[in-house]
C-alpha cells in the first residue's frame, strides 16, 4: 500500500485488549459492517448492534445503560440537554390535536415549548396547580395524552403527589412524564411511583461541575421505549462522546457530592429560617415548603437548590441589592455544580401568588458552609 493509503487504513495496529477503569471516548459517525447483508439503520443499537454514531457511540450507550440500571428503567436515551429531553417527550407523546397538562411551577423553557412549538403543531398544553393531586382527574379530557410532573417545581419548590396523579392518569390511559432533575434521578424513584417516562438534565448533578450540557430520558417499559425511539431517531439528538465521558466520571462521585451538598444546603436553609429579614424558606425538608409531607413520604433526601422570600418591608430593588452584594455566591442560572449561586426572580409568573420580586433561589456548592453563611449575613445588612 502507498503511504497515502496507509494513512487512511482504519485497521487497528495496537492491541485493543486494554481494560481500564475509565470508559474510552469512542468518536465516530460511520459504523463498519462485516458485509452488505449486515447493513442497517436501526436506533435499537443496545439490542441489535451498532449502526450509526447518531444513535449513540459505545461511550453514550455506556452512560445510558448505567443510568437505566440506577433508575430501574427499561432503557435510557442520552440527548444534548435537559431541554432536548423535554422536547423528545413532548414530540413522542403529543400528536397534533392532543391535549397535555403541565404544572405551572414547571421549568420555564418547558412552558415556553408548550406555548410555542407545541401550540404551533396544534397541541394544547394546559397549566395546572402542582398541588392538585388526585384532582387532576377533572382536567383530563378524551384527547389528553400526557401529564407532566416536576417535583419539586422550579423556583417555588412545590412537591407533587406523583402517585395520585399517576393513578388518575392511568385510569384514563394517559401517560405521565416526570422532570426528575432535582432528585438527580436517585432521590425520587420515578418508576416505583408509577411514572412512564422520566427525564433529567445531566447538566446538573451528574455532570456536577458546570462544564457540560446533557440530558437523559428514561423509559419505564417496552411501550415507552417504542414511543420514544423513533422520534429520538428522527430528531437526530446526537451527543458528544467527550461530554458523555465527563458524565460517566461525574457518576463516580455523585453519591459523595450529593451527601455533602445535602448537609451544607440544610445548614444554610436552617440559618435562613432564623433570620429576621427572611419570610419563607422553600426547602423540601422544611414544613414551610408546599407539599413537605409528600416529600417526607416519597423522597429519600434533598439536594442543593431551594428558594426563600424576604418580608414585604423590603423592596424588589433591595433584593437585587442583596444579590449584587454577595461575594462567595455567584449570580447565575443552572445548578448542581461545585459553586454556590444566587438569582432573583423579579417577575416570577405564578397565578396564585405575587412574590413582588422578593423570591431568591440559591444553589449551594462545595465551599466551606461557614463562608456561605457569612456571605449571606453581610449581604443582608439592609
Ligand atoms: C436545567 C433544567 C432543565 C434543562 O436542562 P438543560 O441541560 O439546561 O437544557 C430542565 N429541567 C429542569 C428542572 C432544570 O432545572
Label each residue of 106-168 as H, E or C: CCHHHHHHHHHHHHHCCCEEEEECCCCHHHHHHHCCCCEEEEEEECCCCCCCCCCCHHHHHHH
Residue found by looking up cell 397538562 in the block: 101
Query: Of 78, 182, 334, 361, which is best to mutate to test ligand 1, by the most ligand atoms within 8 angstroms of its C-beta?
Result: 334
Q: Which residues pair with 198 in a beta bridge?
A: 178, 218
Q: What percent of the chain has pLDDT over 70?
A: 100
Mean pLDDT of 199-214: 98
**Residue 349: per-residue pLDDT:** 83
Q: Identify the CA nearest to 380 among candidates 362, 367, 356.
A: 362
Q: Is 205 close to ligand 1, i.e. is its CB under 6 Å away?
A: no
Q: Is 158 close to ligand 1, i.e. is its CB under 6 Å away?
A: no
| Pairing relationship of beta strands 144-150 and 175-179 according to DSSP bridges | parallel
Q: Is 215 close to ligand 1, i.e. is its CB under 6 Å away?
A: yes
Give the nearest ligand 1 atom to 214 CA: 7
Give the nearest ligand 1 atom to 204 CA: 1
Q: Is 81 close to ligand 1, i.e. is its CB under 6 Å away?
A: yes
Residue found by looking up cell 427572611 in the block: 278
3-class secondary structure for 258-298? HHHHHHHHHHHHHHHHCCCCEEEEECCCCCCCCCHHHHHHH
Check whether 315 has a pLDDT greater than 90.
yes
Q: Is the dihedral of CA 67, 83, 158, 170 positive or negative?
A: negative
- Protein residue closest via CA to atom 6 of ligand 1: 82
Give backbone dihedrals phi and psi of 52, rounded to 5 degrees, phi first. Answer: -165, 140
Residue found by looking up cell 404551533 in the block: 120
Check whether 26 has a pLDDT greater than 90.
yes
Q: Is 213 close to ligand 1, i.e. is its CB under 6 Å away?
A: yes
pLDDT tens-digit series, residues 35-89: 999 999 999 999 999 999 999 999 999 999 999 999 999 999 999 999 999 999 9
**Residue 97: per-residue pLDDT:** 98
Cell of 372: 456561605
Check whether 291 has a pLDDT greater than 90.
yes
Centre of ligand 1 to C-alpha 183, Å, is: 12
DSSP state of 80: S
Q: Identify the CA nearest to 258 among candidates 317, 193, 328, 208.
A: 208
Domain-wise residue ranges, the chain: 22-248, 254-379
Centre of ligand 1 to C-alpha 153, Å, is: 12
Same fold, 22-248 and 254-379: no
Mean pLDDT of 280-302: 98
Q: Is 183 close to ligand 1, i.e. is its CB under 6 Å away?
A: no
Mean pLDDT of 185-194: 98
Tell me which H or E stretch contains 249.
Answer: helix 241-273
Q: Are 341 and 314 in contact (CB under 8 A)?
A: no
Check whether 352 has a pLDDT greater than 90.
no
* CATH of the structural domain 22-248, one choice from 3.40.640.10, 3.90.440.10, 2.60.120.310, 1.10.3210.10: 3.40.640.10
Centre of ligand 1 to C-alpha 177, Å, is: 15
pLDDT tens-digit series, residues 229-260: 999 999 999 999 999 999 999 999 999 999 99
Q: Which fold has domain 254-379?
A: 3.90.1150
Q: Is 181 close to ligand 1, i.e. is its CB under 6 Å away?
A: yes
Q: Is 167 close to ligand 1, i.e. is its CB under 6 Å away?
A: no
pLDDT tens-digit series, residues 107-154: 999 999 999 999 999 999 999 999 999 999 999 999 999 999 999 999
What length is written for the chain? Answer: 382
Check whether 362 has a pLDDT greater than 90.
yes
Centre of ligand 1 to C-alpha 11, Å, is: 41
Give the nearest ligand 1 atom to 106 CA: 13
Q: Is 210 close to ligand 1, i.e. is its CB under 6 Å away?
A: no
Mean pLDDT of 287-308: 98
Amino acid at each position: 500500500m502507498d503511504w497515502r493509503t496507509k494513512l487512511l487504513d482504519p485497521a487497528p495496529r495496537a492491541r485493543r485488549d486494554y481494560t481500564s477503569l475509565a470508559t474510552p471516548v469512542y468518536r465516530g459517525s460511520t459504523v463498519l459492517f462485516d458485509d452488505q447483508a449486515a447493513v442497517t439503520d436501526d436506533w435499537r443499537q443496545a439490542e441489535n448492534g451498532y449502526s450509526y454514531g447518531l444513535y449513540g457511540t459505545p461511550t453514550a450507550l455506556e452512560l445510558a445503560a448505567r443510568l437505566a440500571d440506577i433508575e430501574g428503567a427499561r432503557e435510557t436515551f442520552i440527548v444534548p440537554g435537559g431541554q432536548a429531553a423535554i422536547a423528545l417527550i413532548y414530540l413522542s407523546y403529543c400528536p397534533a390535536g392532543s391535549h397535555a397538562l403541565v404544572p405551572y411551577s414547571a421549568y420555564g423553557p418547558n412552558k415556553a415549548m408548550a406555548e410555542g412549538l407545541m401550540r404551533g403543531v396544534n397541541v394544547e398544553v394546559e397549566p395546572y396547580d402542582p398541588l392538585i393531586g388526585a384532582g387532576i382527574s377533572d382536567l383530563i379530557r378524551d384527547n389528553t395524552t400526557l401529564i407532566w410532573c416536576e417535583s419539586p417545581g422550579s423556583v417555588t419548590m412545590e412537591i407533587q403527589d406523583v402517585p395520585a396523579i399517576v393513578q388518575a392518569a392511568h385510569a384514563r390511559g394517559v401517560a405521565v412524564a416526570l422532570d426528575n432533575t432535582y432528585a438527580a434521578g436517585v432521590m425520587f424513584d420515578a418508576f416505583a411511583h408509577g411514572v412512564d417516562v422520566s427525564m433529567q438534565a445531566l447538566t446538573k448533578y451528574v455532570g456536577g461541575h458546570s462544564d457540560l450540557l446533557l440530558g437523559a430520558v428514561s423509559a419505564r417499559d417496552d411501550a415507552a421505549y417504542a414511543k420514544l425511539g423513533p422520534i429520538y431517531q428522527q430528531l437526530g439528538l446526537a451527543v458528544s462522546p467527550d461530554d458523555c465521558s465527563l458524565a460517566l466520571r461525574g457518576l463516580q462521585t455523585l453519591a459523595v457530592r450529593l451527601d455533602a451538598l445535602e448537609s451544607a444546603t440544610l445548614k444554610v436553609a436552617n440559618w435562613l429560617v432564623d433570620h429576621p429579614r427572611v419570610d419563607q424558606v422553600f426547602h423540601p425538608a422544611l414544613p414551610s415548603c408546599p407539599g413537605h409531607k409528600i416529600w417526607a413520604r416519597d423522597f429519600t433526601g434533598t439536594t442543593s437548590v431551594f428558594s426563600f422570600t424576604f418580608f414585604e418591608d423590603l423592596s424588589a430593588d433591595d433584593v437585587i441589592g442583596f444579590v449584587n452584594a454577595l461575594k462567595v455566591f455567584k449570580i447565575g442560572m443552572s445548578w448542581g455544580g461545585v459553586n454556590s449561586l444566587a438569582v432573583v426572580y423579579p417577575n416570577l409568573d405564578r397565578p396564585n401568588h405575587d412574590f413582588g420580586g422578593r423570591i431568591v433561589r440559591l444553589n449551594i456548592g462545595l465551599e466551606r458552609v461557614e463562608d456561605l453563611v457569612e456571605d449571606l449575613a453581610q449581604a443582608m445588612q439592609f
